[in-house]
Amino acid sequence: MSPMPKMRVIIAGGGSAGWCVAAALGRHLGPRLDITLVESEDIGIVGVGEATIPTVRTFHRLLGIDERDFMRASNATFKLGIAFENWARDGDRYIHAFGEIGKSNWMAPFHHFWLQARSEGYGGDLEDYCFELQAAEAGKFQTGPNSRLNYAYHFDAVLYGKFLRTFSERHGVKRLEGRIERVEQDPDTGFITALSLNDDRRIEGDLFIDCTGFRGLLIEEALKTGYDDWSHWLPTDRALAVQTQSHGPLMPYTRAIAHGDGWRWRIPLQNRVGNGLVYCSQTLSDEDARTRLLGLLDTPTLTEPRLIRYQTGSRRKVWNKNCVALGLSSGFIEPLESTSIHLFQIGVTRLIQFFPFGGITETLADHYNQMSRNELERVRDFVILHYKLTERDDSEFWRNRRDMDIPDTLSHRIELFRDTGHAWQAPDDLFRVDSWLQVLRGQRLEPARWHHLGAMMSRPQAETAFTGLKRTIDQAVAALPDHEAFLKSYCALTEPA
């Protein structure tokens, strides 16, 4: 028997998305695939996706990536959550931490116990019962075999792409330098047959992965897939990004600070800080945004502010014919909850699980598209939640967010929590009950009712349980080293990045 020919996979575009796809396919399906990534040094990458969520660690484990090696290569720090400032009201602050809150029962999550306790005048603050949140506030961190902290990373996205390129090439991925000039298609089926480069080379393939960014060179310009615009719910359409010198302690969380026309981020890396201003161009001009961003920085800049234009929404299909769009080419949810990197990492993981070795069928593509769409819409709803539940009325931007109509799926979640205290998650939800709970309450929504399981305990029993749980967390936080000190011992840079 002659061996089966390898399936030819062509990845259009590099950056974090392209090289994540290449790394995953090369690591897990390399022996059955011929993988080529085409990118041009002349085309810049967005490269500001510097914050992640804990699923990135699962992705790294699947690839067998050493944490210390990755962190040194990408100038990374640890992340325990996101601090939201000025969102419900100017002056407010809360943290969406990555950990579980308290100890739940099969009948009801912990916050129902706490709501009962609060109604009786004890129990302290709900935030007292989250280990990750308290460690973040204290600037503490540690990882290792016995660590219970659930965490993610901040890193330099450009350096991360370079790290993954090296990893991918070790697993047989070939890189071609060149600019894609034309996408060739079969005249009968519309399937993509080859990419024509600016030097007249033709790169033929069986499956094409579009990682060409917002442009969507394959999925949109060639295949005319269509785009669902969600800007009526999430109208920010610009971001200015700039790097500054480090200042103060390296805290293990991202800051998301609301301003009159959107919000700004502050992301601490080992040797610099990533800053950005997210805004709506209908209410704030690019020049005024630049002035506002520079006026809010607390240390000297290392780069010039870079303008990024985007439109929140989704491709109507992320798998169309023999093309799968991953990364910005598939759609975009603004960076508020750091989901962009997760979405293309779960996208390629799902592709590996449903890889079309037996041929591309409409049924397979439809199933992949439905799974991707369900997840993206739930992420969309979670991000909209931060805007809808605002009490700010100091600008047109915030008044419009407060008063806007929202998807029925989100309305149901808000009403259910307001009426009963129930926060929930579907089996394929990215964000868990604890995440919904922290944002719902952080945005000042308090439930009118709750499960009465807590009322079945005597008050002395309940108070003892709450006191013991808080003491355990306080002692565990006190025993942790300082985040910055731990970084220096664990994965400090050997030379400036």
Question: Who's near 17: CB < 8 A, 6+ residues apart?
Answer: 211, 326, 327, 328, 329, 344
Find the helix or strand (DSSP H, E) in which 486 lies.
Answer: helix 483-491
Residue 217's pLDDT is 97
Which one of 103-112, 394-403, 456-465 scores highest in mean pLDDT?
Answer: 394-403
Distance CA 319, CA 218 (A): 11
Q: What is the pLDDT of residues 52-110, one digit of tens each?
A: 999 999 999 999 999 999 999 999 999 999 999 999 999 999 999 999 999 998 899 99
Distance CA 421, CA 12 (A): 46
The three-state secondary structure class of 59 is helix
**What's the chain's length in residues?**
497
Distance CA 154, CA 71 (A): 9
Q: What is the pLDDT of residues 5-34, one digit of tens each?
A: 899 999 999 999 999 999 999 999 999 999
pLDDT at residue 456 is higher than 90: no
Tokens encoding 95: 């943290």
Average confidence score pLDDT of the chain: 95
- Relative to beta strand 93-97, strand 81-85 is antiparallel
Domain boundaries, the chain: 7-50+156-231+312-360, 238-309
pLDDT at residue 416 is higher than 60: yes
pLDDT at residue 122 is higher than 60: yes
Question: Who's near 269: CB < 8 A, 6+ residues apart?
Answer: 50, 75, 76, 77, 154, 155, 156, 246, 497
Residue 496's pLDDT is 46
Binned at pLDDT 50, 70 and 90, residue 44 comes out as low
pLDDT at residue 236 is higher than 70: yes
pLDDT at residue 497 is higher than 50: no
Binned at pLDDT 50, 70 and 90, residue 494 comes out as low
Sheet architecture: strand order including 180-185: 180-185, 192-197, 202-204
Q: Which residues are catalytic?
A: 79
Distance CA 64, CA 30 (A): 15
Q: Is the separation of the CB atoms in 230 and 312 below 8 Å? A: yes
pLDDT at residue 372 is higher than 80: yes
Average pLDDT over residues 299-303: 95
CATH class of 7-50+156-231+312-360: alpha beta
Find the helix or strand (DSSP H, E) in which 11 lies.
Answer: strand 7-12
Residue 426's pLDDT is 85
Q: Provide the residue type at 34 as one letter.
A: D
Distance CA 38, CA 13 (A): 6
Question: Who's near 415: CB < 8 A, 6+ residues apart?
Answer: none
Residue 47's pLDDT is 54
Residue 58's pLDDT is 97
Q: Provide the residue type at 470 as one letter.
A: K
